[in-house]
Amino acid sequence: MTYSVVLCGCGAMAKGWLRAVQSTPDLRDALRIVGLVDLNEDVAQALAAEFGLADVVIGTDLQTVLEATKAEIVFDVVIPAARHVVVTTALAHGCHVLSEKPMANSMEEAADLLKAAAKAGKIHSVVQNRRFISGVRRMHRLVESGAIGDITAIHCDFFIGPHFGGFREKMDNVLLLDMAIHTFDAARYVSGKTPLSVYCLETNPSGSWYAHGASANAVFRFSDDVVFTYRGSWCAEGERTSWESAWRIVGTKGMLTWDGEDGFKASVAGSEDGLLRGFAPVEVPPPSRDEETHGHASVIADFLDAIRTGRAPETAGEDNIRSLAMVFGAIESARLGRSVELAA
Ligand SMILES: NC(=O)c1ccc[n+]([C@@H]2O[C@H](COP(=O)([O-])OP(=O)(O)OC[C@H]3O[C@@H](n4cnc5c(N)ncnc54)[C@H](O)[C@@H]3O)[C@@H](O)[C@H]2O)c1
């Protein structure tokens, strides 16, 4: 069966979505792009030309293009501020919706989207593409295997200095809202724990080229007394970390580090006498399924499988709202200058 898709928001990221669809045979066969929507019609026209989409309806209003195309799926790749209206319009039209992250611009909007999806009886999922990569899957597998014991802490460092221009340099809470959710979501996934509370110090460091919140330092308490710390800056010039963060996972038997690229080191206590016991290396297993490691293509495939089978997608709105709660909890903590509890 082929599903008809309208893609709404034809900016930078939309190209990544179309590349993922066009370069993945199963997705190419199952999805037919029938409409493109952008407030700027020229941008939509240019995207259609770049990806050879000759027979698509192009417009500036989602409702109008949905009526013209009778699409079954909406790919939502608009900026976060426009997400609520786009998703509610798509759901009200009876479409399944896959949204870019972040799922919503506030917890109230997120809760409202869950209600709208339940009312429509449609799949509503979020592109949390950075959990669908080999490194995150490998960390998850090692933790699940128990090789380093029960985990007690996860520490992540994220220091990069990208000069995006555009909406990111004007928005509030830019690092927490636009980027940190990837690492927060991955920490929740790898640990398998529930975030309970957060204390966060958010700053816009001297020299920052962003309007607000280019740096954040957050300490989360997860269930089972697991601690997750995040130190991040988006205005850190010099030799950067990976976009996935640099990770250290501490367990009762040993530790795992991942540099966010190809460098894994896992080890447990060695057998030396004296103050320190030394260490014995542990092998980090490969991902159990290759198809879970292709970023956007994997999320889209998971979404499509959920539509076909009726199961919940891995990054369904109901699940993703817990990662969003980490972001908004951190923002609220920074605003209040104290720790805040996160909704279960
Ligand atoms: N998952 C990732 O790794 C990743 C990476 C980059 C961006 N993103 C996310 O993708 C989304 C889009 O980011 P981008 O970099 O493509 O931004 P962008 O500014 O390049 O593109 C957004 C487009 O949406 C259009 N738009 C805005 N409101 C609209 C509306 N109501 N209806 C139709 N079109 C509308 C704009 O005109 C613009 O062309 C953001 O939520 C961002 O956080 C995700």
pLDDT tens-digit readout, 214-257: 999 999 999 999 999 999 999 999 999 999 999 999 999 999 99
Nearest residue (by CA) to ligand 1, atom 18, is: 11
Range 124-133 average pLDDT: 96
Q: What is the β-pairing status of strands 124-127 and 96-100? A: parallel
**Quick one: pLDDT at residue 271?**
96
Atom of ligand 1 nearest to the CA of 99: 41
275-303 average pLDDT score: 95
DSSP-assigned letters across all residues of 88-121 = HHHHHTT-EEEEESSS-SSHHHHHHHHHHHHHHT
Distance 167 CA to ligand 1 centre (A): 9
Query: What pLDDT is recorded for position 285?
Result: 92
pTM: 0.95
CB distance 147 to 266 below 8 Å:
yes
CA 330 to the chain's CA centroid: 16
CA 78 to ligand 1 center in whole angstroms: 4
What percentage of the chain carries pLDDT values higher than 90? 96
Strands 31-37 and 57-59: parallel
CATH for the stretch 3-122: 3.40.50.720
Residue 311 CA, ligand 1 centroid: distance in Å: 28
Q: What's the mean pLDDT in 106-125?
A: 97
H/E stretch holding 143 reads: helix 134-145
C-alpha 110 – ligand 1 centre gap (Å): 17
Mean pLDDT in residue range 108-124 = 98
In this prediction, residues 27-45 reach a mean pLDDT of 98
Ligand 1 atom showing the smallest separation from residue 40 Cα: 37
Q: What is the mean pLDDT of the chain?
A: 97
Ligand 1 pocket by Cβ (under 6 Å)? 8-14, 37-40, 43, 62, 77-80, 82, 86, 100-101, 127, 129, 166-167, 178
- Residue 78 phi/psi, 5-degree rounding, is -80, 175
* Distance, CA of 337 to CA of 222 (rounded, Å): 20
Q: Which two tokens stand for residue 299?
A: 């999320």
* 102 preceded by a cis bond (ω within 30 of 0): yes
Ligand 1 pocket mutation, candidates 7, 100, 324, criterion most atoms within 8 A of CB: 100
pLDDT at 53: 96
Return d(Cα 92, Cα 102) in angstroms, integer.
20
State the fold for domain 133-289+324-341: Dihydrodipicolinate Reductase; domain 2 (3.30.360)
- Say how many Å lie between the CA of residue 79 and the centre of ligand 1: 4
| 94 close to 122: Cβ distance less than 8 angstroms | yes
Domain spans of the chain, in order of start? 3-122, 133-289+324-341
Residue to probe by mutation, ligand 1, list 19, 43, 78, most atoms within 8 Å of CB? 78
Cα dihedral across residues 233, 243, 250, 257: positive or negative: negative
Residue nearest to atom 8 of ligand 1 (CA): 13
- Rounded Cα–Cα distance for residues 328 and 218 (Å): 12
Asked if pLDDT for residue 320 goes beyond 90, the answer is: yes
Position of tokens 């996972």?
249
Q: What is the pLDDT of residue 344?
A: 58
For the chain, give the percent of residues with pLDDT over 70: 100
Separation between Cα atoms, residue 281 and residue 293, nearest integer Å: 25
pLDDT over 90 (residue 167): no
